[in-house]
Amino acid sequence: MATLYSGGKIFDGEKPLDGHAVLEEGGRIKRLAPVGEFAGFAGPRVDTTGGTLLPGLIDCHVHSLSGAEGNPGLVQDRMTTAQIAVRGMEFMRATLDGGITAVRECGGKDYIEFALRDAFNAGRFLGPTMRCAGRLICMTGGHGNRTGRIADGVDEVIKAVREQIHAGSDLVKIMATGGVMTPGVNPEDAHYSAEEMRAGIAEATRFHKTTASHAQGTEGILNAVRGGVTSIEHGIFMTDEAIGEMRTRGTWLVPTLAALVHILRGADAGDASIPPYVIEKSRRMAERHVQSVKMYYEAGCKIAMGTDAGTPYNRHGDNALELEFMCDIGISNRDSMFFATASAADLMRLADHGRIREGHVADLLVVDGDPLADITRASRKQNHRLVIKRGAAARDNRAAAADALRIAAQ
């Protein structure tokens, strides 16, 4: 049965539309047209008056099995495989409830997350569409070595990439530099050599996989970009040279501003469970991270939203706060929403997601007010009226939203 969404504003993933309505049928968008075209429609309606209809948001960097504790790895190591899987299902359902209808999993554990992906993508359980990297690939002692596939040298890196493809990965993630959450490594240091990065990326590309690289230091960013990587994750120590090469090659940046924001908020709140080395590195890099993302944005390069959800205090379900963090550093409301919808879908090769277009999957979000004027309408889940996954209501907050509006009017 068809359902009509009408009455309010629409942001189609690229631009606002006034005076339009959306007809959904069978989990897809059947028609997007001026509202007058639907004058005789007699089926179910969703009244979006006073609100905005937009595509479901997309998070291009999550860790679905990590629980956002002060030390997520330590907690995970104490759990059984079954416990990790069940908790991951809960995390991904919370993510969907928070308005995120698709995610890119950038490093799980022992391919447990593949079971989540397959169940959600087949519609057996209600959750976000998932794309998974499988085991991240890192050097001996490198960032992510607790759960990653350790590989050294060109031949071994190529073999590690082939293992991820054989296991069923949708993309391949290669660690170009050190990182915050691994003890004894410096985020500024390049880990893989340019030759190793180039070989791994080329092998993944040869088998039609996109690639992502955890890359924080400048040399590692350049190694990954020159190797042909699809996206740079974090990009903390960006330079004009790196930005120029990324622009030329069409490389995406997935900023994950939320990661350092939440670590430092937890530290400032006095949480002793966050390892001191994590806090030290986060404080050292936070300002530089903001500068790099602003530089990249002002250069007009490609950005897709990602949060690193699952890292300390970076909770699944609060992913949409990344919109707010982007706007806080000078990204426009429109662009932050574009990065979280259409651009993110393009990065993930989700050709029928991320835009309100005829024939596209009906993954939708209805929010109170106009997020183009006030980004918190989209970034804060208490302002979400409806989360729609393939045409079905995943979260219906309309009654609470109506009560809030009535109280505000009194």
Tokens 């969703």, located at residue: 46
**Is residue 365 a contact partner of residue 56, using CB atoms and an 8 Å limit?**
yes
Helix (H) or strand (E) holding 197: helix 194-206
Does one domain contain both 292 and 375? no
- Residue 400: the pLDDT is 79
- The number of folded domains in the chain is 2
Nearest to 131 by CA among 157, 158, 101, 94: 101
DSSP letters, 313-360, are T--TT-TTHHHHHHHHTT--HHHHHHHTTHHHHHHTT-TTSSS--TTS
Same structural domain, 258 and 313? yes
Domain match, 292 and 398 both? no
Mark whether 287 and 369 lie in a shared domain.
no
Q: What's the rounded Cα separation, in Å, for the pair 312 and 240?
A: 31
Q: Under DSSP, is residue 53 helix (H, G, I), strand (E, B) or coil?
A: strand
* Domain boundary pick from 300, 326, 347: 347
* Cα four-point dihedral sign 304, 305, 308, 310: negative
DSSP state of 214: E
In sequence order, the 6+-apart residues with CB closer than 8 A to the CB of 84 are 65, 76, 109, 112
Residue 85 sits at φ, ψ, to 5 deg, of -65, -45
Q: What is the mean pLDDT of the chain?
A: 96
> What distance in Å separates the CA atoms of residue 239 and residue 378, rounded to the nearest whole number?
31
The verdict on 234 and 279 lying in the same domain is: yes
210 and 342, same domain (yes or no):
yes
With 70 as the cut, is the pLDDT of residue 141 above it?
yes
155-210 pLDDT, tens digit each:
999 999 999 999 999 999 999 999 999 999 999 999 999 999 999 999 999 999 99
For 132, 280, 308, the CA distances from 305, given in Å and listed in that order, are 16, 25, 10
User: Above 90 in pLDDT, residue 78?
Assistant: yes
The sheet with strand 45-47 has its strands ordered as 28-34, 20-25, 3-6, 45-47
Percent of the chain scoring above 70 in pLDDT: 98
Give the model's pLDDT for residue 306: 98
Q: Strand, helix or coil at 220?
A: helix
Query: 44: buried, middle or exposed (CB in 10 Å: 19+, 13-18, 0-12)?
Result: exposed
Do 218 and 307 fall within a single domain? yes
Which pLDDT band, with edges at 50, 70 and 90, does 1 fall under?
Answer: confident
Q: Quickly list DSSP for 59-99.
A: EEEE-TT----SSHHHHHHTS-HHHHHHHHHHHHHHHHHTT
3 state SS of 27 = coil
pLDDT tens sequence across 219-272: 999 999 999 999 999 999 999 999 999 999 999 999 999 999 999 999 999 989
The confidence score (pLDDT) of residue 248 equals: 97
Determine phi and psi for 319, rounding to 5 degrees. Answer: -55, -40
Residue 402 host element (H or E): helix 398-409
Same domain, 42 and 175: no
Question: What is residue 385's three-state secondary structure?
Answer: strand
Tell me the pairing of strands 137-138 and 16-17: unpaired
DSSP, collapsed to helix, strand or coil, labels residue 121 as helix
pLDDT the model gives residue 407: 62
What pLDDT does 409 receive?
A: 60
In a shared domain, residues 154 and 282: yes
Domain boundary among 313, 330, 347: 347
* Domain extent at residue 154: 57-347
Sequence-distant (6+) residues with CB within 8 A of 237 are 187, 188, 216, 217, 218, 221, 285, 288, 292
Same domain, 18 and 163: no
The C-alpha atoms of residue 199 and residue 154 are separated, in whole angstroms, by 6
- Token pair in block for residue 234: 């974090």
Give first-to-last CA distance, the chain, whole Å: 38
The domain that holds 31 is classified in CATH as 2.30.40.10
Query: Has this prediction a pTM greater than 0.85?
Result: yes
Widest distance between CA atoms in the chain = 69
**Do both 77 and 48 map to the same domain?**
no
Q: State the CATH number of the domain containing residue 62.
A: 3.20.20.140
Q: Are 40 and 21 in contact (CB under 8 A)?
A: no
The whole-angstrom separation of Cα 45 and Cα 4 is 5
**pLDDT value, residue 404:** 66
287 and 257 together in one domain = yes
Full DSSP string of 137-169: EE-TT-TTTTTSEE--SHHHHHHHHHHHHHHT-
Domain termination residue (choose one: 347, 372, 396): 347
Residues 97-132: tens digit of each pLDDT: 999 999 999 999 999 999 999 999 999 999 999 999
Q: How far apart are CA 197 and CA 153, in angstroms?
A: 10
